[in-house]
């Protein structure tokens, strides 16, 4: 009886997981198939879940008629630079919060958490006025600075958990051997924290890569627009260019999928290492 119940339970579990997998993967499959259809076949009836003829017309039009290569380059530069700088700053601030005691420590942690509760669009107006005064509207450097400021609070709290999981004795032993505090941090602690740092960088990169509201607000010219802004441009008041949008969506998803594929092991280690304080 126990064996039958166990078999039935496993069958139910795998059935549920299979349905959930189909539910999750189907939108990606449909976007990909739509991007490979000729424009005239996208609205054909009955719906073709596997087209007879595949076409790269949507992709060629994407780079021929629009500056999508420029958008991809802008997104790659902005997301990579912002994620790298935000990760370094967050790492240093997290180290201070984890290793030192000072009067405003609790207030700083609370402020970092509270910022995650505020919707981005609430700050769009004041932020636009500020960036206008600084002459940084429609400027990739301005967008990078904004993204850095947005990523730092949560990333700091995240990395603080990693530092707290590393015993103080490891750092003290390195300092007894002659290393300075910064030497112990960069030569001893950081190699141990590599999974956490990689996880933090990927978290920041994906957030910057996919962000829409700030990019639409601060970027006006085609030469500075990022990929999310370009995707938003395929939607007009009277029409949606589904073919080009699907092709652009596929190209937008690919970098993050490749990043997760190569760094998945470090991400899992990083998230599990920082989840519980040892």
152 CB-near residues (< 8 Å, 6+ apart): 86, 89, 90, 93
Q: What is the pLDDT of residues 116-140, one digit of tens each?
A: 787 777 888 888 899 999 888 889 9
Cα–Cα nearest to 269, from 192, 205, 207: 192
Low-confidence ranges of the chain (pLDDT < 50): 1-3, 274-278
User: 130-150: string of b/e by CB count within 10 Å (b at 16+)?
Assistant: ebeeeebbbbbebbbbbbbeb
Long-range CB pairs of 132-138 (<8 Å, 24+ gap) are 136/218, 137/218, 137/220, 138/218, 138/219, 138/220, 138/221, 138/224
CA distance 83 to 201: 6
Q: What is the pLDDT of residues 180-204, one digit of tens each?
A: 888 888 888 888 888 888 888 988 9
CA distance 74 to 271: 29
pTM exceeds 0.85, yes or no: no
């Amino acid at each position: 009886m126990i064996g039958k119940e166990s078999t039935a339970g496993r069958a139910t579990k795998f059935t549920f997981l299979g349905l959930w997998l189909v539910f999750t993967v189907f939108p990606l499959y449909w976007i990909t198939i739509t991007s490979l259809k000729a424009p005239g076949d996208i609205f054909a009836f009955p719906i073709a879940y596997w087209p007879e003829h595949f076409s790269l017309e949507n992709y060629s039009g994407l780079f021929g008629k629009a500056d999508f290569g420029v958008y991809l380059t802008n997104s790659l530069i902005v997301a990579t630079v912002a994620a790298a700088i935000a990760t370094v700053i967050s790492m240093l601030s997290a180290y201070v919060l984890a290793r030192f005691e000072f009067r405003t420590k609790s207030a700083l942690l609370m402020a970092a958490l509270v910022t995650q509760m505020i919707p981005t669009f609430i700050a769009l107006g004041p932020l636009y006025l500020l960036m206008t005064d600084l002459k940084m509207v429609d400027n990739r450097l301005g967008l990078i600075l904004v993204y850095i400021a947005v990523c730092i609070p949560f990333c700091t709290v995240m990395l603080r958990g990693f530092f707290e999981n590393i015993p103080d004795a490891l750092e003290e032993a390195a300092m007894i051997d002659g290393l300075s505090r910064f030497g112990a941090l960069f030569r001893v602690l950081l190699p141990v924290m590599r999974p956490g740092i990689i996880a933090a960088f990927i978290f920041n990169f994906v957030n910057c890569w996919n962000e829409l509201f700030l990019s639409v607000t601060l970027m006006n010219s085609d030469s500075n627009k990022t990929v999310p802004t370009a995707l938003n441009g395929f939607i007009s008041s009277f029409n949606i260019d589904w073919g080009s949008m699907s092709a652009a969506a596929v190209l937008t998803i690919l970098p993050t999928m490749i990043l997760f594929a190569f760094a998945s092991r470090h991400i899992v280690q990083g998230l599990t290492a920082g989840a519980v304080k040892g």
